[in-house]
A and B are shown apart, each in its own frame.
Chain A
Amino acid sequence: MSDRILLVEDDGQLGAQIVGTLEEAGYAPTWLRDGDEALRVDPGEFALVILDLMLPGAYGLDVLKRYRESSDVPVLILSAREDTADKVRGLSLGADDYVTKPFWPDELVARVRARLRRPVMQRADVIEAGPLRIDLGAREVRVSDVPVELTRVELDLLAALGKRPGMAMTRAALVEAALDPDRQGGERTLDVHVSRLRKKLGEEGARIETVWGIGYRLRGDG
């Protein structure tokens, strides 16, 4: 993973820290400290832009507007101001997300990762998590290329979890996705199905994690 990331941030210490954090996370950051300088850059060369709104020279939103004229690169806004109007304007001008200062290094990396991962998730028809492979079209599940026989309910459950790997799903949502509430009962039945599914998947069964207070989640590779 060596996505190029453009960072536009005027503060020296914060900029250096973000650059360090991004490098540590495996990205290749380019750091600009000035809005006017940022206006001269081709945003198409980057996989993602992290843009501070309060910049010397051009205002951050002007930079965003200019980038949006030529590119769909994801833009993450950094904002220290508790100003809703600014955020709303940023989002309406085409920013993808914002992070309010102060933020944790992990928090920033998570937001960056989420942005870079998103498009891949959307076109997934085949979900792979380690040796586990779920083909939603063919309704077929394999572990290390060995087909696994699943009931319709179990397959629906796994498909529902697999559509958004790493995201927890509520029991209610899973019941709705996989069970016929009239005949097959509710959340108790769901737990039984999950337990059977885990057994059938063998070692990969542990990928189906119980999430406290919510339901279940399929652990991806991220």
Chain B
Amino acid sequence: MKLRSRLGLTLALLVVPFAAGVAYYQVGAQRSAFEQGTAEAVVERMQSGERAVCEEAPAVWPRMGPPRGPRGWRGRGRRSRRPPPDLRVWAYDVGYASANPNAPAFPAGLRDALERGEGVASVAAGGPGRFVAVRMPWDEGPCAIVLVRRPGPPEGGAFGRALVPSLVVSAAAVLLAVLAAGPIVRRIRRLTDAVRRPPGDAAPIDVGGRDEVAELARAFEESRSRIREQIDELERRDETLRSYLTNTTHDVMIPVTVLQGHLSAIERSVESGKPVEVSRVRDALEECHYLASLVHNLNAAARLEVTAGEPRRDPVDLGAVVERVIGRHGPFARQREVELNFAVPEGSTVTLGDMTLVERAVGNLVHNAVRYNRPGGHVAVVLERDGARFHLRVVDDGPGIPAEELVRVAERGFRGDRARSRHPHGLGLGLHIVRDVAERHGFELRFESPGEGGLEVHLSGDLAGEPSGA
């Protein structure tokens, strides 16, 4: 339903009962005025002498038509010596019996009303006019109640006649209201058109003015720009995810292909009865190790990218982290004939952070130190506590990559796979994760190239309260 029809219908539904109520009240007020006027006139007349006349000859009272008096029967202010022909009067005692044989039986409805204690009551007479019963201020004698029949306010259709004018006024009001709604409806239509514009439309939703419709337009505009921001954010994430998938696939497929190559070469050797080259098997194993590390790193990178800001702050036992990382890289180092050693202090060395990310960072440092070493080389991982700080050192004596170069690799924001492809085997990605993890945890990260060659990486940060254990 349109707004205007709804407004009209609602107003009409409200106005009809209102008009009916007004008409009903009007009819009641008219009747009440008629009864009171009659009663006052009758009582005044009776008190000013007519009572004696009546009590003297109740059977014939009023002897000659209606009694004469200072006031006419027709109500207040109007005097008439001769009663109008349509006026009849009878007297009754308190038992509602009349001495006048011509008097009509007392109407039951009026009797009930007087019994209830009302001083005056009226009811429609069978013929023209109304019966009005008036109780006198005395209650003895044959003239304690006077019944009058006189023309009253119109009977049939009284309510209907009273209703018509209020209905007409109300209908006019409804019509005016519906017409007055016109400008509002037009503003709402403008708003609808503005909201319906395609999302790409840069023009803001604005209908001018300072009313509620303008406020609604502003609310729409606010919500539209919020939605637009969210869509932009989602599109950005979608783009990140898509490029992540593309890069991941690319990065993972390379070692898988290399691994397949090694394995089929081994298979060919076995099939043709030739001895399998140990170096081939080692290369295949190395590729497996790299693949696992790469997938973990991609995972960490994706998590770092999605969850900006503060990392988790769980207690992380760095001693256990170092042991796990050494355990992980021990077999890999043996394959490469690199000696991998570690030292951790007794008891636990606990810091606060994201266990997976911290382990990944330490793992990447160890992985690089082993991978960019030479057979016969060394890697040492040393964890120390110094007051409220921990100090982790990954040292190697490989030819490696100069510290300055590593700093550059780690600092360069990695975007897409550019940083990864710059160095063989994901060095960029691994170091970037180390740097990012250190930054988020508030750890200090330093690369040093000692004079005698090799590389030293230092990672230090705050401990979580007092170290436990001996």
Contact = CB atoms under 8 A, between A and B. Distances in A.
B384 A172 contact: yes
3 interchain residue pairs of minimum CB distance = A213-B380, A212-B378, A104-B331
Given A84-B314, A114-B323, A212-B378, A107 B331 contact: yes
A168 B396 CA distance: 16
Contacts, number: 84
B81 interface: no
Contacts of A207: none
A217 B342 CA distance: 10
A21 B378 CA distance: 28
A167 interface: yes
Given A82-B299, A212-B397, A173 B343 contact: yes
B344 to A, nearest CB: 8
Interface size class of chain B, counting residues whose CB lies under 8 Å from the partner chain: 35 or more
Interface in A87-140: 87-88, 97-100, 102-107, 110-111, 114
A87 B316 CA distance: 11
A211 B343 contact: yes
> What range describes how many residues of A lie at the interface?
20 to 34
A87 B342 CA distance: 24
Interface string B311-329: 0101000001001100110
B332 interface: yes
B331 A106 contact: yes
Contact of B346 (A87, A110, A164, A211): A164
A88 B288 CA distance: 27
Interface string B387-399: 0000000011100
A213 B378 contact: yes
B355 A88 contact: yes
A58 interface: no
A74 B380 CA distance: 29
A10 B335 CA distance: 30
A214 B356 contact: no
A131 B331 CA distance: 29
A39 interface: no
Interface of A: 82-85, 87-88, 97-100, 102-107, 110-111, 114, 163-164, 167-170, 172-173, 211-215, 217
Contacts of A82: 296, 299-300, 303, 356
Interface of B: 288, 292, 296, 299-300, 303, 312, 314, 320, 323-324, 327-328, 330-332, 334, 339, 341-346, 354-357, 378-380, 382, 384, 395-397
16 contacts: A82-B296, A82-B356, A87-B356, A99-B324, A102-B288, A104-B331, A106-B331, A107-B331, A163-B346, A168-B341, A211-B341, A212-B339, A212-B380, A213-B382, A214-B343, A217-B341
Contacts of A105: 331
Contacts of A164: 346
Contacts of B327: 99, 107, 110-111
A107 B340 CA distance: 14
B343 A169 contact: yes
A110 B330 contact: yes
A102 B255 CA distance: 15
A98 B314 CA distance: 16
Contact of A84 (B320, B323, B330, B356): B356
Contacts of A163: 346
A60 B330 CA distance: 28
Contact of A211 (B288, B312, B380, B384): B380
B62 to A, nearest CB: 109
A212 B341 contact: yes
B328 A104 contact: yes
Contacts of A214: 341-343, 380, 382
Contacts of B344: 167
B68 to A, nearest CB: 111
Contacts of B382: 170, 213-214
A103 B325 CA distance: 11
B384 A170 contact: yes
